[in-house]
Amino acid sequence: MKNNFRSLLMRKYGIKEPARLPAQQQIAADLDVSQATISLWLSEKVTRFDEVMLIKLCKGLGCSVGDLLNISEEREPA
């Protein structure tokens, strides 16, 4: 599963280059989540999707869960 977190952050902050994103601590404060959560989402290493967290992220980013998450068509190796 992939996410659009980085591109949604870029839209939220009105920037065109990912390198110009605010520090993870600032993003965490703006979205009312932990810095560790921001780090996991930016590195696409999220393995569990907590309902409360998804609601916070979607509200903070002005999006729906479908905007945030993508199911990849690639098959996982057996």
Q: Provide the pLDDT for residue 71.
A: 82
Q: Could you give phi then psi for residue 16, rounded to 5 degrees?
A: -110, -10
Which residues 6+ apart lie within 8 Å of 40 measured at CB?
46
Looking at residue 1, what is its pLDDT?
Answer: 85
pLDDT at 72: 74
Burial class (CB in 10 A: 0-12, 13-18, 19+), 44: exposed
With 0-12 CB in 10 A as exposed, 13-18 as middle and 19+ as buried, what is 31?
buried
Count of beta carbons in the 10 Å neighbourhood of residue 57 = 24
**pLDDT tens for the 78 residues of the chain, in order:** 899 999 999 999 999 999 999 999 999 999 999 999 999 999 999 989 999 999 999 999 999 999 999 887 765 555
The confidence score (pLDDT) of residue 57 equals 97
The whole-number pLDDT of residue 78 equals 54
